[in-house]
Structure 1
């Protein structure tokens, strides 16, 4: 479990691609302090497992499912990535519940500045639009943000200068891809309401069929 509060920006030192898999070597400093083999690290919002590390970098593997559904396949050597360690049980919760399981990739279509705010417009795949609400939460490349506006199949978020400086979103430009993880509570609520409705309809159909109204 993560919070969406980025701890540091890391740098891709090496990528080894084999088919739809990747072996990453990522340079870091802060998050290496208490690292252990098998730790979970969110890399641009994607939960990856530490397979090896030293005092300057760590290694992680990307499997085909992650390769196909996230922006990690587009990362190149020297590319910058958001990094966050899994939240400790006694830690402070500063963002929102982030699982590190990316739902989809979106594309930045517009970036503008208004006084001290940076507005970013990002496409949303249509089948996920129902999970996004104004003033709700969304994790973009692992950064916990508030949805400012929804228009068509596009959401708008706003970055304060600190967030722009401490995450890769401040560096990305229109045309670049970002990882999207929609609010966990929204997904659970939608799934529960959908299953409840389907179960209700199923029971009605069973009752009608039992009494000869359906054949």
Structure 2
């Protein structure tokens, strides 16, 4: 579980496929030495487990499905990625609950504003946009952000100076592809109400009986 508050920007040192998984090596000066095997790290919003440590570099493994669902199939040495270690029980939740389970990708359509504050508008498929609501939370490349507005084809978020300076979002250009994770609370509500088509729709009376 993560908060969507990026700790640092790391650098990809190697990325290749082995027999069944992808192996990704990331440089995180100083902090990589504090990691332990099996620890979870959100890499641009993707929850991955540490499998090896080499000083300031740590290795994680990735299933092929993860590479296909994210923009990680295009990873190469030198690319920057956002990094966050899992939250600890009892710590302040200053962002929102982020699982590191990416739903899909979005594309930056427009970036407006001054040099200090920007509004970014992203295009995404309807299935992803269904889980995004105005003034709700969304994780973009692992960064917790508040949604400004949402339409049938895109949504926008505000980027403050601190966000632009502390993570990879400040380097985005029109056409940039980002990892997108919608709010987990909305997913559970959708499942409960049966909107996905696989559950059983609850009536207003049943919701009242459940305390809603």
Q: Is the TM-score greater than 0.5?
A: yes
Task: Report the CA distance shift for 1:19/1:170 in structure 2 as closer, same or farther (over 3 A).
Answer: farther
Mean Cα deviation higher: 171-180 or 108-117: 108-117
Correspondence for 1:133: 133
2:15 match? 15
Question: How do 1:23-172 residues align onto structure 2 when only pairs under 5 Å count?
Answer: 23-114=23-114, 116-172=116-172
Does the 8 A contact of 1:31 with 1:84 survive in 2?
no
Q: Normalising to structure 1: TM-score of the pair?
A: 0.87
> CA separation in 1, counterparts of 2:98 and 2:189?
16
The runs of 4+ residues in structure 1 deviating greater than 6 Å are: none
* Deviation of the 1:119 alpha carbon: 1.2
Q: Paired residue for 1:212?
A: none
Mapped to 1, the partners of 2:19 and 2:135 lie a distance apart of 40
Give the corresponding residue for 2:200. 196
**Of the two, which has the highest radius of gyration?**
1
Q: 2: distance between equivalents of 1:128 and 1:79?
A: 26
**CA positional deviation for 1:151:** 2.5
Give the direction of change, closer, same or farther, for the CA distance of 1:74–1:155 in structure 2 (3 Å limit). Answer: same
TM-score (normalizing by structure 2): 0.88
Contact 2:26/2:59 (<8 A) preserved:
yes
How far apart are residue 18 of structure 1 and its match?
4.8
Q: CA deviation at 1:33?
A: 4.7
- Give the 3 Å change call, closer, same or farther, for CA 180–82 of structure 1 in structure 2: same
Query: How many residues get paired?
Result: 199
Contact 1:26 1:59 in 2 (8 A): yes
